[in-house]
Structure formats: structure tokens, C-alpha cells
Chains A and B, each alone.
Chain A
Amino acid sequence: MEPELLGEYLPVFARAAWLTLWVGLTGIVCAVVVGLACAVVQHFRVPFARQLVSAYIELSRNTPLVVQLFFLYFGLPKLGIVLSSATCAIVGLAFLGGSYMAEAIRSGLEAVDDGQSQSALALGLSRGLTLRHVVLPQAVALAMPAFTANIIFLIKETSVVSIVALPDLMYVAKDLIGTDYNTREALTLLVAFYLVILLPISLGAGKLEKKVRYAAFGS
């Protein structure tokens, strides 16, 4: 291993790590929005939309992210829709993550004691107000463990977005191995950067989980 090489590659990897993080987090935020919408549709058993959501969830869960990305990057242009690499990566993560987040939120909604919505409705709150002010805050707290597991899962999944030519960590590592044959240095930096991204998220998530749970239930 040559330390100077590590130094030389560092800026390239740092830029790639930033891109990975940015695409990953944007994808996750979109996934949460998609998941929330789907979970609410399922929770209220909205006719028609509910079937649509079920179909989406099955499709999303039963196809690999690589296949979804292939479709977005190589398939859509055939239909006249051309998306940039980054957009493909974000849409792909949102498509995949949406169903996982939906599942997490839905199980959270189901875990909230029925008496909570009953007493909110009895006070005159509409179903929407009941959801927003009473059920959802508790559901999110209950869903936190699944939520943070999904976040880490999705960040890891970003490692496949290099197939749509996005210069993320994986892409840069493959590139350097292919051109310079400095496999050891490239792999060391690849692992190091993924750890740098994921460890704080893992640790922070654990803390956040406890905090949110405590705020909602005191235990």
C-alpha cells in the first residue's frame, strides 16, 4: 500500500462520497414522502388508490434496484424521457425505498392504540386532524426502528447506482482499479468512506430512535 497514493485519491473519493451522500439522502427524503402517502392511502383504505399502492409495493419490493435503474436509465429514453444519472439514482431510490417506508409507517399506524383515535374523534376532531395531531406522531415514534434500518439499507443500496454512470464511491473505485490497478488503495478508501458515511448515521439513528420514543411514550 502506498500512502502517497491514498493522499492523491482522497479528493476524488471525497467528491464521490459527497455525491453518494447527497443522492442517498435526497432519495431517502423522497422515499419517506412516497411512503407516507402510500401508508395513509392504505390506512384509510382509499378505494382505487389502494389497489394502485398495493401494485406499486409489490413491484417495488420484488424487483432489484439495479433492474429499476436499468429501466429508468435505458428504458425511459426509448419512451422519450431522458433523465440525468443523478435523477435516475434519486428516482430509483425513492421507488425502492417508498415501499419500505410505506410498510414501516403502516405498521406504526396500526400499532397506535385504537383508543387514541377514538378519543380524538370523540372530541370532534376530523379524521384528518386525528391522523395529523394524534395518530401520526405516535406512529412515527413506533416506526422509528424500521425507519432507521431502512435509511441505512438505502444508503447501502446507493452502491449500485454507478451503473447509470453516476460517479459515486463505487464508480470511482471501479474506475481507479480498472485504470491504475491500485486495487488495495482504492478498496481501502472505498470501505473507509462508506464507514465514514454510515457509522455516524447508524449511531445517530440509535440515539434519535430513543429520543423520539421517549418524547412520545416516555419509555
Chain B
Amino acid sequence: MGALVPTVSLKDVVKTYSNGHEALRGVSLDVSRSEVVGIVGPSGCGKSTLLRTVNGLEPIQGGSIALDGEIITVPGTSWPAIRAKVGMVFQKYDLFPHLTVMGNLLLAPTKVAKVSKAEARSRALALLERVGLADRADDLPRQLSGGQQQRVAIVRALMMEPEVLLLDEITASLDPEMVREVLDVVLGLARDGMTMLIVTHEMDFARAIADRIIFMDEGKIVEVAPPSRFFTAPESPRAQQFLNTFTFQEVHHHDE
């Protein structure tokens, strides 16, 4: 990390939902440029909530969040401007069904970033090419497979040239045979130096892509470790327990 300002910095972030549920109970995390952070933990531990606080989809009740050293969790922040710099991809892809692939890709650049249509189009085509979907620009989302839709959703986020990408279980709704094509795109981004916070249940993927693993439980970060150590010798009993559930599943599969 050195002397550089972290790209994303969370300090003692507290998120309490309106029903009183404390989803984040003092979370601190610095992510440096080009770093890939894998966030894992049991269901309901606050992983999605954590990602959603970074682009302000969830307002926080305590602590602070900074982007490139600038605190964004202050009154008067222009969230649309922040969100243009922070890309997010969701589990259900959520492409806009009434727009073509190209329409999905052009919306934010032309309406928000005010990029010319021609420029946005050529950027879109270049990115589609990269994810192997150049010939699908004029198709509607429903004409694509789940894996193809998710690749388009990634491209849609990239269209704004974000400084950080937040990926929330982007393969969780996909049929197994489509997981690979989506993860390959993300691996490519990591190689190009994209800063990413990745929530995933694909442990092999987390191990392969992450520079650092964050293990969360009950709204707190319980363990931070490089993947090689986390997946072979986790320190906290909670993390050991959590990883055991995965090994058990694997053993179970072999039996079948």
C-alpha cells in the first residue's frame, strides 16, 4: 500500500437498517489501487451491505468512507457523481429489458457522462469484443443466456470507466457451465489492474483472483489474510468452521 492514498477506505463503518438490524458493526478496510479484495462469509453476515455502502446505495449511520482520500459519507455528496466512478455488478445482472444490449451500454455514458453517442458506441463495441459478444450488440437481453447477460452487465459497468468495481455474487444465479465465462472476464480485469471488491461463494475463484481475503461474520471483519493462508490455515475458529462447510459439500458431491 505504501504511502499512496487508498482507493477505497472504510473507517468504523456502522450500518443499521431501519428495522434496527445492525448489518455492519464497525468495519474498517483499506483497498489500494489495483488491489483485488475477496469478501467471504456466511449468508447474512453483511457482505452485500458492505459493498452497497461504498456507492451509497445504503446510507451509513456511523464511521466514514473515503474514495481516493476524499470522504464521501458527508452531507451534500453528489452520489450520482460518485456512482459514476464506482461500478457495481449484481447477482441478477438486471439488464434493462426494454433496451438492446447497445441501449443498455449507452444509457449511462450518454445521459450521465455526456459522452457523444459515437464515442460511446465505439467504446461499447470494443468492450463487447473483449468479452466475446461483439455480434450481440443489437439483441435484447432476453435473447442472451445468463452468462452472456452477466458479461454485458460487466461491460455496462465498465462503460463509465470506473475506478473501482464492486461485484456482488455475480455468478450465483448462473448455471454452472456459464460460471467460467463470466469469471474469465473478471480475471482479465484483474490482470489489467482494475481495483475490485468481490463478494463470492466461489472459493476457488476467490483464491485464484484475490490479493487479500476478508472474512466477515455478523457484521464484522473477523479475519484478513492472503488467500494462500486463509484457505489452508485460517486462524479464527469461525473461518475454520465456515471453510469446513465447503469441504463437507465437496465430499458430499464426490459420494454421489
Query: Which A residues lie at the B interface, using CB under 8 A?
Result: 113, 115-116, 118-126, 129, 133-134, 137-138, 141, 215-218
Q: How far is the CA of A121 from the CA of B160 in the complex (A)?
A: 13
Q: How many residues of B contact A (CB 8 A)?
A: 27
Instruction: Report chain A residues within 8 Å CB of B96.
Output: 116, 119-120, 133-134
Q: Does B98 contact A (CB under 8 A)?
A: yes
Q: How far is the CA of A115 from the CA of B156 in the complex (A)?
A: 15
For the complex of A and B, list the 4 residue pairs with the smallest distance between their C-beta atoms, beginning with the closest.
A124-B84, A123-B108, A119-B94, A115-B94
Contact B108 A115 (CB under 8 A): no
Can you add 5 more A-B contacts, CB < 8 Å, to A122-B87, A216-B98?
A115-B90, A119-B94, A123-B84, A123-B107, A126-B112
> Do A124 and B90 form a contact, CB below 8 Å, given A118-B57, A218-B97?
no
- Minimal Cβ-Cβ distance residue in B for A134: B96
- Minimal Cβ-Cβ distance residue in A for B55: A122
Residue from A123, A133, A137, A218 in contact with B142 in the complex, judged by beta carbons closer than 8 Å:
A218
Contact A125 B92 (CB under 8 A): no
B163 to chain A, nearest CB (A): 12
A46 to chain B, nearest CB (A): 19
Instruction: Report chain B residues within 8 Å CB of A123.
Output: 83-84, 87, 107-108, 112, 156-157, 160
Q: How far is the CA of A108 from the CA of B107 in the complex (A)?
A: 22
- Minimal Cβ-Cβ distance residue in B for A218: B142
Instruction: Report chain B residues within 8 Å CB of A124.
Output: 80-81, 83-84, 108, 112-113, 160
Instruction: Report chain A residues within 8 Å CB of B153.
Output: 119
Instruction: Report chain B residues within 8 Å CB of A125.
Output: 80, 107-108, 111-112
Would you call the interface of chain A mostly helix, strand, loop, or mixed? helix
Could you write out 21 A-B pairs with CB less than 8 Å apart?
A113-B94, A116-B96, A118-B94, A119-B94, A119-B96, A119-B153, A121-B79, A122-B86, A122-B157, A123-B112, A123-B160, A124-B80, A124-B108, A124-B112, A125-B111, A133-B111, A134-B107, A138-B98, A141-B98, A216-B98, A218-B142
Instruction: Report chain A residues within 8 Å CB of B243.
Output: none
Instruction: Report chain B residues within 8 Å CB of A141.
Output: 98
Contact B98 A115 (CB under 8 A): no
Q: Does B88 contact A (CB under 8 A)?
A: yes
- Minimal Cβ-Cβ distance residue in B for A126: B80
Q: How far is the CA of A137 from the CA of B111 in the complex (A)?
A: 16
Contact B111 A217 (CB under 8 A): no
A70 to chain B, nearest CB (A): 43
Q: How far is the CA of A113 from the CA of B88 in the complex (A)?
A: 17
A219 to chain B, nearest CB (A): 8
Instruction: Report chain B residues within 8 Å CB of A118.
Output: 57, 90, 94
Instruction: Report chain A residues within 8 Å CB of B111.
Output: 125, 129, 133
Q: How far is the CA of A126 from the CA of B87 in the complex (A)?
A: 15
Q: Which residues of B56-105 are within 8 A (CB) of A?
A: 57, 79-81, 83-84, 86-88, 90, 92, 94, 96-98
